Amino acid sequence: MKVAIIGLGLMGGSLGLCLKENKLISTVYGYDKSKENEKQALELQLVHELITLDRLEECDIVFLAVPVDAILELLQALKDISFKTTIIELGSTKRKIIESLPQSLKKNFISAHPMAGTENSGPKAAFKELYKDAVCVLCDSEVADDLHQKRAVEIFSHLGMRIVFMDSVAHDHHTAIISHLPHVISFSLANYVMKEEDKRNIAHLGGPSFKGMCRIAKSNPDMWGGIFEQNKENILSSIECFQKELDRCKKMLENADKDELYAWMKRANTLREIL
């Protein structure tokens, strides 16, 4: 099979590295609107060669590894592609993408969310182990023809991923709480600390806990701005619920309620049983 990857940053570049070693794949093509990204992708050998958008019909599978707002534009540009070509998008939101899907792509379209990533971006951030042992959520995949469903499952399985099936509404609700809210919190914490403290204090006192909390605040705003916009209602709801938890903590501190505060922290400790 021939595969094209549109978007050669962390996600697309890492995917290229993995697929180049896959015996099912003969050629991995790459495309990025940034010519510098394309140049780096070739130098780093993330793909075999570059491709233009008007040649995508030569491919059996096309991956969309770009920000979610760019996915919406690409779907319109690809609406006339052959029904034999599998289109797999890798965005972090689902409902708006699926609602925007041209009718002509419904049978060969797969909406996937690999639960993998780092705070880094660009071709130089790519690494071969990104997808190994991570979960890949396939949303509303039953709408696609069997050929395209099987291709997607086969590819992600060969990447060493664990596949979970979920409807797009549930996906956006759950990722708002478990994935998107942590980014909101990290961006907020980083901005708050930088307003309150000078660089010297941050450098001297920013230990593992602070660095861990703020790691994802280094994430690409171009990518996360679109995610926040597309999943706005779910994220707003998760922020409101989280604020209630903060208010609960604040009240326990104000009341010097040691026993309740201790029990509250012990309940949080049970997360160890899951992660």
Kindly report the number of other CB atoms within 10 A of residue 102's CB atom.
14
How high does pLDDT run on average in the chain?
96
pLDDT of residue 91: 97
Q: Which of 152, 123, 139 is CA-nearest to residue 61?
A: 152
Specify whether domain 171-273 bears CATH 1.10.3660.10. yes
Query: At 24, is the pLDDT very low, low, confident or very high (cuts 50, 70, 90)?
Result: confident
- pLDDT at 255 > cutoff 90: yes
Q: Using alpha carbons only, what angle is made at residue 232 by residues 227 and 233, rounded to the nearest 5 degrees? A: 145
Distance, in Å, from the CA atom of 75 to the CA atom of 81, rounded to the nearest integer, reads 10
Determine the Cα–Cα distance for residues 84 and 252; give it in Å rounded to an integer.
60
**Per-residue pLDDT, 186:** 97
Residues 143/145/151/152 CA torsion (nearest 10 deg): -10
Distance CA 177, CA 181 (A): 5
pLDDT in tens, 37-46: 999 999 999 9
**pLDDT per residue over 121-155, tens digit each?**
999 999 999 999 999 999 999 999 999 999 999 99
pLDDT of residue 22: 87
Copy the structure tokens of residue 190: 């980083």
What pLDDT does 42 receive?
A: 97
> In the prediction, which pLDDT does 214 show?
94
Q: Would the CATH topology of 2-166 be identical to that of 171-273?
A: no
The CATH code for residues 2-166 is: 3.40.50.720
Q: What is the DSSP string of 16-80?
A: HHHHHT-TT-SEEEEE-S-HHHHHHHHHTTSSSEE--GGGGGG-SEEEE-S-HHHHHHHHHHTTT
**Single-letter code of the amino acid located at 241:** C
Residue 199 is predicted with a pLDDT of: 93
**Residue 4 zone, left/alpha/beta (φ > 0; ψ -120 to 50; rest):** beta
> Residue 33: pLDDT above 90?
yes
Give pLDDT, residue 23.
85
**The pTM of the whole model exceeds 0.85:** yes
pLDDT tens by residue, 164-198: 999 999 999 999 999 999 999 999 999 999 999 99
pLDDT for position 79: 94
Q: Which candidate, 131, 209, 218, places its Cα nearest to that of 183?
A: 218
Packing angle between helix 181-196 and helix 221-230, nearest 10 degrees? 130
- Per-domain boundaries in the chain: 2-166, 171-273
Instruction: Give, to the nearest 10 degrees, the angle between helix 68-77 and helix 221-230.
Output: 80
